[in-house]
Structure 1
Amino acid sequence: MSSRAARVHFDPHVDIDWDAPWQFEMFALPPTSVSLYGTRRWRKLTPEQQRTLALHEAVSGWSTLAYLSAILTSNELRRAAEEGLNSAASRSALLEVARGSRATITFGRLVRATGLEPYKPPRGTETAAKLLAFLPLGSASYASTLLVEETFIRGIESVVEDPDIEPHVRQAVKIYRFESEERLSYARSEVAAAQSRSGRIERACNRVLLALLANVILRLNLSPAVYRSVGFSPVRGLIASRRVRRNRRIDTAAPVVEFLDSVNLLDGMITSSLWTLTGVASERKSS
């Protein structure tokens, strides 16, 4: 456990002023982060509709993060039980449980503060996401944490310094960004360690498993139902935003994809083909 982690943590119940009313006249996301931004349909929306869509897209992302953080936290509980409660590895795992729980609480309460219902994962993908709770504790399970959290924080970290963003959101992201530095560092070290101690067959299985999960995780942050908030059908919204969403997915996933490639988690013909389907990694030759 790092000295910094031992000294400092935030309490999502008291470090955000939940009693303050939500500022609906402000954006919940920077306009440039909204999936329709720059499109013809975006220009046709009124300022109020633009804020409404931003709020619904934010709630969709927060709902997904809270949901997946809760599932990934269960992996750390399993590790604590398997390692023995007095081991250093177990203590580190329990620290991650605490961090993951705070993230789930923070973004769950953020959704509730808006007065909107949480967005559920698309039908079918919910079952796939639940499989994260049953993953063998290997490089794929820790890399899944990176995919969930690093892509999320990279997509929203600019809101902290943006005075036009709703105050609850700015404070929640500030807290999350601070804690995510430790969480991402931990996940990266665990991925590298798991790769180094696993055999050839186990590494191959983890590569394929991670590539399958990536195709689910990287598409979960935006529910197509958000477009109904401004009078568009989900299909029309997805078609209009497809280029923006693709470019954003590539941008937010770039650092984690580079890291996964550096630890050989993108190697192999099957793995390469599956990652190509995500749209964030080019196909590689089998190693």
Structure 2
Amino acid sequence: MTTSSTPTARNEVATRLIDGSIRRSHNSLLEIDWGAPQDPDLFYMPPEMITLYGTPLWEKMTHRERVELSRQEVANTFSRAVWFENTLNQGLLRAMLYQDPTSPHVHYALTELGDETRHMVMFGKMVSAIGAEPYRLSRVQAMAVQAMPLFYRGLMLYLAALCGEEVIDDVQRKFLNHPELQPIVAQTMRIHIAEEARHIRFAREGVRRHVRTAPWWSRTFCATANGAAGFILDKMFMDKRVYERCGLPVREAVRQAKANEFSQARRRAAFADFHEFLEDNNLLNLVSRTLWRRYGFLA
């Protein structure tokens, strides 16, 4: 009898994921009408997802000002998603140097690389289509991000993928059919959700497989380091430059956003399933729990 940790079982999972990719893959360049007119009264993300939703500043804003804030926050999220996909692709490519290029496991990893590359194009096209300027990394941030793939080995590779995918996927699923959402954003979410489901399955299987055999120091490192994802996700959801571009008082906007209990509750709800997965696989410790809590993902 095979288990998910055996090469046979691993390749069986990969084969099923490849079959799913054949049946249901997307090309946003063909499927999304990037030049379609956008309704100036519709939000670029559901208002409930906006960092200032329900705050005193929010109550003072006009509807169009709220829409503009949603536009800038979407541009920030998608801009940062591009560099995350970049680091994940680098990690997958490095891992393949040591793997069998004839195996279905490697073939699915290459399939995922293709998906992620198209997602990077899709996110870039989205920022351009909504008329926003991308949110670029600073030189220091870019250097830190460039170093991240160096740590994406074995268990950490699959865990890092989940840290970047699980929370965003949960948020998109919950708000995909929001009645006030711009159609162009909804279509982008549909494509991302459909393909990300396979990526999450692949990464979860990878974590379960590696956590059984990884040495104690690797498990300890992963259980500690995943808390840094709370900081990264916090920046994907909130960047002070968003408030600058919207003409809001930056310090006060940041203060209210950080204290916004509605926003904190949304983060905790989005993290709940992934939190359970981490606990089930003994991949949380005092350090990571403290960091996830510090950025609002744990109560």
> Is TM-score (shorter-chain normalized) higher than 0.5?
yes
Partner of 1:199: 215
| Structure 1 residues 246-274: Cα deviation after superposition (integer angstroms, max 9, x where no partner) | 3332222221121111111103x444444
- Percent identity over the alignment is 25
Pairing partner for 1:26 from 25, 42, 54: 42
Partner of 2:128: 112
- Within 5 Å, which residues of 2 pair with 1:7-18? 7-18=23-34
Pairing partner for 1:266 from 267, 275, 284: 284
- Within 5 Å, which residues of 2 pair with 1:137-156? 137-156=153-172
Pairing partner for 1:57 from 73, 97, 105: 73
Tell whether the 8 Å contact from 1:27 to 1:54 is kept in structure 2 after alignment.
Answer: yes
Partner of 1:36: 52
Q: Distance in 2 between matches of 1:44 and 1:273?
A: 34
Tell whether the 8 Å contact from 2:162 to 2:200 is kept in structure 1 after alignment.
Answer: yes
Q: Distance in 2 between matches of 1:271 and 1:36?
A: 26
| SS of corresponding position for 1:203 | helix
Pairing partner for 1:92 from 108, 111, 133: 108
Pairing partner for 1:218 from 205, 221, 233: 233
Q: Distance in 2 between matches of 1:22 and 1:275?
A: 36
AA at the equivalent of 1:116: A
Query: Which consecutive segments of 4 or more residues in structure 1 shift more than 6 A?
Result: none
Pairing partner for 2:297 from 257, 261, 280: 280
Q: Distance in 2 between matches of 1:219 and 1:234?
A: 16
Task: Report how far residue 54 of structure 1 moved.
Answer: 0.8
Normalized against structure 1, the TM-score is what? 0.89
Task: Report how far residue 130 of structure 1 moved.
Answer: 2.7
Task: Report how far residue 113 of structure 1 moved.
Answer: 0.4
Task: Report how far residue 173 of structure 1 moved.
Answer: 0.5
Alignment of 1:157 with 2:173, yes or no, is yes
AA at the equivalent of 2:234: R
| Structure 1 residues 106-156: Cα deviation after superposition (integer angstroms, max 9, x where no partner) | 111101101211113467444333322211412222122112111112223
Between the two structures, name the one with larger relative contact order (CA 8 Å, sep ≥ 6): 2
Alignment of 1:102 with 2:118, yes or no, is yes
Alignment of 1:179 with 2:195, yes or no, is yes
Tell whether the 8 Å contact from 1:39 to 1:240 is kept in structure 2 after alignment.
Answer: yes
Gaps (5+ residues) in structure 2? 1-14
**Total equivalences in the alignment:** 280
Gaps (5+ residues) in structure 1? 283-287
Normalized against structure 2, the TM-score is what? 0.86
Partner of 1:241: 257
Tell whether the 8 Å contact from 1:62 to 1:107 is kept in structure 2 after alignment.
Answer: yes
AA at the equivalent of 1:52: E
Pairing partner for 1:257 from 275, 279, 284: 275
Alpha-carbon spacing, 1:44–1:182, altered in 2? closer, same or farther (3 Å): same
